[in-house]
Each structure stands twice: as C-alpha cells, then as structure tokens.
Amino acid sequence: MPIETKGNHILAHMAVLSANLIYGANYSVAKEVMPAFIQPFGFILLRVLFTAIVFVLLAQFVTHEKVDFSDKKRFFLCALFGVAINQLLFFKGLDITTPINAALMMTTNPIMVLIAASLILKDRITWIRTLGIGLGITGASTLILWNGGGLKLSGSLTGDIMILINSLSFGVFLIMVKPMMAKYSTVTVMKWVFMFGTILVLPFGLGEFQDIKWSTFDTRIWLLTAFVVIGTTSLAYVFNTYALKKLSPSEVSVYIYLQPLFAVMFAVLLGKDNLKTVHFLSAALIFGGVYLASDKLSASKDK
C-alpha cells in the first residue's frame, strides 16, 4: 500500500474515532446543560434547526439537485423516524436516565436495524440471529429493570425505554434512507431530512425553546451547548463523511461499540455516574447479541 494511501486510511480511522468520541462525550455533556439551562425538547429544536440551516446554506453552494415529489414523501418519513422520534426520545430519555444506561442502550442499534430490515425489507432472520436478538433484549431488559440489589422497576425505567425506542426508530431510519443516499448527494438528503425534521420537532420544542434564558448562560454553558449543537451534528457528520470516503460502511459502523466505553469514561470523570456490576453484565449480553446477530457470523453459521 502506498505511503500516501496508508496515511489517508490512518486519517480516516482517526476521523471516525473522533466522531464516536464526540458522541460518547455527548451523553454526559448534554446532561450538564439539561434541564437547568435548556429543556430536552428545546435543545432538540435548537440542534435540528441549526443543522437544517447549515445544510440549506451548503446546498446553495454545493448542489442544486431536483428532488422527485415521491421522494419528498420518503424524506418526510426519514425525518419522522430519524429526527423527530429519534432525537426527541433520545434527549428526553437521557434527561431522566444515566449516561451509562443510555450508552449501553444505544449498542442495541445493530439489532434494531436487523429487526427493522426484517419488517420493512422482509429480510430473513436466521436462528443464530434470533439468538443474538434474544441476548440483546435480555441485556437491555436487565439494565431497565435493575435497581441496586435486585431486579425491580427503577427510577430510570421510562428513560431507558425511551432510549430503546429511539434506537429502534433510528434503525428504521437507516433502512429507509439508504436508497435516498444512493440516489442523491448527502447534502441534498440531509437538507430535506432536517427541513422536514424542523417542522416535525417545532410543535414539541417551541415552548421550551422560548423558555431558554440565554442571559443566564456563562462561558462554560455556552461552550457545552456549542459542543452539543455543533460538535454532535456538523463536526461528527464531517468526520464520518470523510471516513466513508476511505473506509467501508462496516469498518465505520464497528466504531459504535466504542461509544459506551467513551460514555463511561466521561460519565465517571465528570461524576455523573458510577460503574456497577449490572453495567458489565448488560454490556456482555448486548455485545454478545450484536455479535451473534451480525451479518458475517450469521451468514457463516447458516450456510
């Protein structure tokens, strides 16, 4: 491999690693701002509106693609599952559960993609994948029901379930947006998804957005807010996009499994959470389920 190519691949790996580091930090950083300074739904409106403006402006300079009317309907559905349901439930759930719980719940996303593909695309779920789904659901359920010394309803039950539904919603989004990514440029796709997303989020977030007391923000809160609004949208998206130019989607997607590690690291460092035995148990079950449900393993086992 030429030195330049090898260097480009190293930069690509560093880019996707940085994106997931940002996502991992976001679990704790967002909770520093919520709900004292910005309520969850108001935060989502701020983030979605900012992203929509960025991509609308980019589209003016980068591309002028004409979008078919039928595809606009699909973009609306992508916005419903990928922006409205996904983002609103994620931030609301994060507000009332712990960063570590939320991060571990998000590792169920590959399993949720598998379930969504089965329902939408009629993909076959093999016995090994069924076992993987079962393990993943067991791990998530253990995390939801555990409270201290035993299995029982915890105070974060609602928040954990919201994160789980958010993961399923994002899985549906990935399945629905895939053909649009093949047909249009990423700027065009993101522009339409976030424009529709802004419309869908507006009724839920407008009141909380108007309640934001900007005058109470000190330098620290401004920086944390900028990290969530800019870092987890523009920067992370640029990093992932650059990585996809050099690496395969499977190479990029595997980095999602580092998010819980990063989330735990930041949560513990910031004093937002403490490691418990249940976290290790749930993580083992979820990761085991994701591994068994992965395409490569199930394909080799079911031949």
Average pLDDT of every residue of the chain: 77
Residue 11 has pLDDT above 50, yes or no: yes
DSSP 156-199: THHHHHHHHHHHHHHHHHHHHHHHHHHHS-HHHHHHHHHHHHHH
A 10 A CB-CB count for 15 gives 21
Least confident residue range of 88-102, 124-138, 155-169:
124-138
Give the pLDDT mean for 34-39. 88
In this model, does residue 102 exceed pLDDT 90?
no
Checking if the pLDDT of 218 tops 90, the result is: yes
The length of the chain is 303
Per-residue pLDDT, 152: 45
* Residue 8 confidence (pLDDT): 66
Could you state, in order of their start, the residue ranges of all structural domains in the chain?
A: 3-301
Q: What percent of the chain has pLDDT over 70?
A: 71
pLDDT (tens digit per residue) in 235-250: 777 677 677 667 655 4
- Residue 38: pLDDT above 80? yes
Q: What is the pLDDT of residue 224?
A: 93
Total-model pTM: 0.71
For range 297-301, the mean pLDDT = 46
- pLDDT tier at 160 (50, 70, 90 boundaries)? confident
pLDDT in tens, 281-296: 777 877 776 677 555 4
Higher pLDDT among residues 155 and 211, named by residue: 211
Task: Please report which confidence band the pLDDT of residue 77 belongs to, taking 50, 70 and 90 as the band edges.
Answer: very high
Most confident of 45-54, 106-115, 133-142: 45-54
Distance of alpha carbon 89 from alpha carbon 102, whole angstroms: 11
Q: Is the pLDDT of residue 146 over 70?
A: no
- Please give the backbone phi and psi of residue 166, each rounded to the nearest 5 degrees, phi first: -60, -40
Q: Tell whether the model's pLDDT for residue 50 goes beyond 70.
A: yes
The SS3 call for residue 77 is helix
The more confidently predicted of residues 177 and 122 is 177
